[in-house]
C-alpha cells in the first residue's frame, strides 16, 4: 500500500496533467454539443422566419394581383377615382417587394420598375380624365396590359410557393 | 438649365443609346396611351428616364422617376442651348430605338433588293381582291 502512495506521490505531476487533459476534453465535448444545439436552434429560427417571410410575400403578391383586378373593374365601371387609388396602392405594394428575398436581382427590380412606370403613366392619364371627361382613355388596352401584369405576378407567386419548400404539402 | 448630375446621366444614356444597346420603350409598349405626341422611356432596375414631346411644341420634356414611380426630377429643352442639343439627340435615339427605325428600314431595303429582279409581285393585295 505504501508503494502505491509512494508511486502516486512521485508521479502526481504527470497524473494532474492527465486529469486536466481528460477534464479539458470532456469540457470541449460538452461545449461543442451545447454550441451545435444553439446553432440548430438558430437555424430553425431562421427557417421559420424565412417561411413566414415567404408567406408574407405571397400574400402581398396576391393583394397586388387583386388590386389589378380592382382597377380593371373600376375602369369598366367608369370609376376613375377608384382606379387611381388602386393604382397607387399597387405602386406602394410593388415598391415593398424590392427588399424581399427573390426580388433583389436587377432583372426582377427592372420588371417591378416597368410596372411602376406603367402604373404611374396610367395614373397621369386617370388624373387627366378626371380633370377633363372628354379625354379619351382606352379601357380595353389598359385592361389587357393589366391582365399581362397579373399573369406575371401569378408566375412570381408560383415561384415563391415552390421555392419556400413545403407550402404545397 | 439641367443640373450637372442629371446632364451627366443623359450624356451617358446618349452614348449608350448610340451603340444601339438601350431599350427605349414607347408609351404603347408600356400599355398606356400617351397624352403627348411622342413619349419614350428607358427602364432601369431602380429608375426610369422618360422623354416626351407635345403636339405643336418643339420643346422636349423629361423626368426621372424613382423606384416608387415618383417623379424626382423634371426638365425641358427650353432654357439652354446645350441642354436643347443634348435632349434633341437623345430624343432622336430614343425614337429610333423604340420604333425600331433602323431595323425596319434595313429589312425593307433587304426585301426590295432581293425581289428587285424577281417576277413575283410584292405587296399584299387588298382584302377585297383576295375575296374575288
pLDDT, tens only, A102-122: 899 999 999 999 999 999 999
Provide, as residue numbers in chain B, all residues whose Cβ is less than 8 Å from the Cβ of A138.
33
DSSP B86-123: HHHHHHHHHHHHHTTHHHHHHHHHHHHHHHSS-SSPPS
Nearest chain A residue to B64, by CA: A117
> Which pLDDT score is estimated for A71?
97
Provide, as residue numbers in chain A, all residues whose Cβ is less than 8 Å from the Cβ of B68.
91-92, 95, 116
Express as a percent the part of chain A with pLDDT over 90.
Answer: 57
Per-residue pLDDT tens over the stretch B49-65: 999 999 889 899 999 99
> Which pLDDT score is estimated for B132?
65
Helix (H) or strand (E) holding A161: helix A139-164
Query: Average pLDDT in the A35-40 region?
Result: 87
Q: Which residues neighbour A148 within 8 Å (Cβ) at sequence distance 6 or greater? A: B31
Cα separation, B68 vs A113, in Å, equals 8
How far, rounded to the nearest angstrom, does the alpha carbon of residue A13 sit from its chain's CA centroid? 60
Predicted TM-score (pTM) above 0.95 = no
pLDDT at A87 over 80: yes
Query: Average pLDDT in the A127-150 region?
Result: 93
Asked if A87 has any chain B CB less than 8 Å from its own CB, the reply is no
How far, rounded to the nearest angstrom, does the alpha carbon of residue B65 sit from its chain's CA centroid? 17
DSSP A36-80: HHHHHHHHHHHHHHHHHHHHHHHHHHHHHHHHHHHHHHHHHTT-H
Asked if A147 has any chain B CB less than 8 Å from its own CB, the reply is no
- For B22, B39, B74, B84, B99, the CA distances from B96, given in Å and listed in that order, are 11, 12, 23, 18, 6
Using an 8 Å Cβ cutoff, are A126 and B71 in contact? no
Beta-bridge partners for B48: B43, B65
Task: Determine the distance in angstroms separating the CA of B27 from the nearest CA of chain A, rounded to an integer.
Answer: 8
**Between A92 and A167, residue with greater pLDDT:** A92
> Which pLDDT score is estimated for A169?
37
Using an 8 Å Cβ cutoff, are B45 and A109 in contact? yes
Per-residue pLDDT tens over the stretch A68-85: 999 999 999 999 999 999
Provide, as residue numbers in chain B, all residues whose Cβ is less than 8 Å from the Cβ of A128.
35
Q: Do B31 and A144 touch (CB under 8 A)?
A: yes
pLDDT at A1 over 70: no
pLDDT at A168 over 70: no
CA atoms within 13 A on the CB side of B77: 20
pLDDT at A19 over 90: no
Neighbours of A98 (CB within 10 A): 17
Provide, as residue numbers in chain A, all residues whose Cβ is less than 8 Å from the Cβ of B45.
106-107, 109-110, 113
Q: Which regions of chain B are under pLDDT 70? A: 132
Ordered by start, the domain boundaries in chain B are 4-99
Amino acid at each position: 500500500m505504501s508503494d502505491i502512495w509512494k508511486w502516486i506521490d512521485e508521479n502526481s505531476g504527470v497524473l494532474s496533467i492527465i486529469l486536466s487533459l481528460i477534464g479539458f476534453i470532456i469540457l470541449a465535448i460538452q461545449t461543442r454539443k451545447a454550441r451545435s444545439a444553439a446553432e440548430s436552434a438558430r437555424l430553425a429560427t431562421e427557417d421559420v422566419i424565412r417561411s413566414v417571410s415567404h408567406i408574407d410575400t405571397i400574400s402581398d403578391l396576391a393583394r397586388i394581383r387583386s388590386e389589378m383586378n380592382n382597377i380593371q373593374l373600376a375602369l369598366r365601371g367608369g370609376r376613375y377615382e377608384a382606379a387611381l387609388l388602386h393604382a397607387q396602392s399597387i405602386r406602394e405594394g410593388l415598391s415593398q417587394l424590392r427588399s424581399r428575398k427573390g426580388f433583389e436581382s436587377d432583372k426582377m427590380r427592372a420588371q417591378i420598375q416597368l410596372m411602376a412606370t406603367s402604373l404611374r403613366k396610367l395614373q397621369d392619364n386617370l388624373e387627366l380624365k378626371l380633370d377633363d371627361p372628354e379625354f379619351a382613355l382606352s379601357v380595353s388596352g389598359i385592361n389587357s396590359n393589366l391582365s399581362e401584369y397579373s399573369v406575371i405576378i401569378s408566375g412570381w407567386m408560383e415561384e415563391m410557393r415552390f421555392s419556400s419548400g413545403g407550402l404545397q404539402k | 438649365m439641367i443640373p450637372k448630375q442629371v446632364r451627366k446621366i443623359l450624356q451617358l444614356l446618349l452614348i449608350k443609346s448610340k451603340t444601339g444597346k438601350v431599350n427605349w420603350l414607347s408609351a404603347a409598349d408600356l400599355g398606356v396611351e400617351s397624352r403627348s405626341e411622342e413619349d419614350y422611356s428607358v427602364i432601369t432596375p431602380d429608375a426610369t428616364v422618360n422623354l416626351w414631346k407635345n403636339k405643336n411644341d418643339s420643346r422636349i420634356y423629361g423626368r426621372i422617376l424613382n423606384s416608387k414611380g415618383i417623379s424626382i426630377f423634371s426638365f425641358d429643352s427650353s432654357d439652354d442651348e446645350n441642354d436643347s442639343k443634348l435632349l434633341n439627340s437623345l430624343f432622336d435615339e430614343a425614337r429610333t430605338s423604340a420604333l425600331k427605325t433602323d431595323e425596319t428600314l434595313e429589312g425593307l431595303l433587304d426585301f426590295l433588293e432581293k425581289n428587285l429582279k424577281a417576277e413575283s409581285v410584292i405587296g399584299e393585295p387588298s382584302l377585297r381582291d383576295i375575296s374575288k
